[in-house]
Structure 1
Amino acid sequence: MQLLQIEILRGFSGDESQLGIAEQFFLNLLTVSDYRLILDCMILKEELDIAFETLLPHIDTVINSCIEIKESKALPKIFCMLVQIGNFLNANATFGNAAGFKLNSLWRILDVKGTQKSITLLHFIAM
């Protein structure tokens, strides 16, 4: 509702029954303290319900993925193999006796190439 229309309704002192239904509604709405805040909250609640329904399948996917990772028997073995391979490749270097690695360094397994340039460490691990 425009500010001018609100001011006109606030200044109205006649018989409310002479007004249209929409004008009567807004006139009554003006008597509610913080009506704009209440309306904004109602709109936000409806928008959040829609957004939540849209996001729920994605949230379920993330939760299920976390459960699969947590319960995986193979993943710790793969991580152990990666540490061993890294230690072998870096045997004469400072990093040759690592106890583990950071998860963000997993991208580097794509950089380790075999004798064929199209084969990476990821291919080797997946075999």
Structure 2
Amino acid sequence: MKLRFVFESAECVAELGEELAPETVKAILRSLPIEAVANRWGDEIYFETNVDCRVAENSREIVEIGDVAYWIPGKAICLFFGKTPISDDKIRPASAVNVVGKIIGDPRVLKKVKDGERVFVSLIK
């Protein structure tokens, strides 16, 4: 299952892994389509959603470039394409996130996205 993320200055596609976090993926799919405002935090983009999932599944404090995750405290989807302000030699989100998928192709295309850009998320059928 794939999601398309369209920003004003870039777009990407991600493959969802239902086996990674099944309840979180279901909650995201129920909330589609999503329209939100992107926030930058280093080389992470996150945006608040109406996704309602309070279950920590495959929750990680260290992620990889290209990971797509859900951050429970902020009800936010997160896209990682490099280090965050609290990263050392590993990429670290603000707190643990549920990893739900992976960006297909080069996630560094997201470096073009600026704070405050609109983002549209939809299912690719």
The interval holding the TM-score normalised by the smaller chain is under 0.3
Give the number of the structure whose residues are more often strand, by fraction: 2
TM-score (norm 1): 0.19
- Higher-Rg structure is 1
TM-score (norm 2): 0.19
Give the number of the structure whose residues are more often helix, by fraction: 1
Greater RCO between the two (CA within 8 Å, min separation 6)?
2
